[in-house]
Amino acid sequence: QKEVEQDPGPLSVPEGAIVSLNCTYSNSAFQYFMWYRQYSRKGPELLMYTYSSGNKEDGRFTAQVDKSSKYISLFIRDSQPSDSATYLCAMSALGGYQKVTFGIGTKLQVIP
């Protein structure tokens, strides 16, 4: 079993929909959570990061962490065709150098 599980999709939604992307993890040491967006043949771009359980909002994006369930989510409101990309969750322990573990990524397509 992988330390981080993420449904690869693909996920197709109509423009304007609310998108929910999720990851589960098994390593209790993970305390730092990140979401990356990757367009085809491009480097992953950091979208959001968070340390604590609860919600963190940035524009149309909301990151949610539930450490008790080892479950994290990324919500995209008012989705746009330009949001079509692969979304990767990533996580690590805290403090000093820590290896970051990625999910496989969920491919999202927002249809105009």
Partner 1 sequence: AAGVIQSPRHLIKEKRETATLKCYPIPRHDTVYWYQQGPGQDPQFLISFYEKMQSDKGSIPDRFSAQQFSDYHSELNMSSLELGDSALYFCASSSTRGRGNTIYFGEGSWLTVV
Binding site for partner 1 (CB under 8 A): 6, 8, 32, 34, 36, 41-46, 49, 51, 88, 90, 92, 94-105
Shortest Å, Cβ 87 to partner 1: 11
Shortest Å, Cβ 38 to partner 1: 9
Shortest Å, Cβ 60 to partner 1: 21
Q: Which amino acid is at 90?
A: A
- Per-residue tokens: 26: 């098994």
Q: Which is nearer to partner 1, 44 or 76 (CB)?
A: 44
**E-state strands within the chain:** 4-6, 11-14, 19-25, 32-38, 45-50, 54-58, 61-66, 71-76, 85-92, 101-102, 106-111
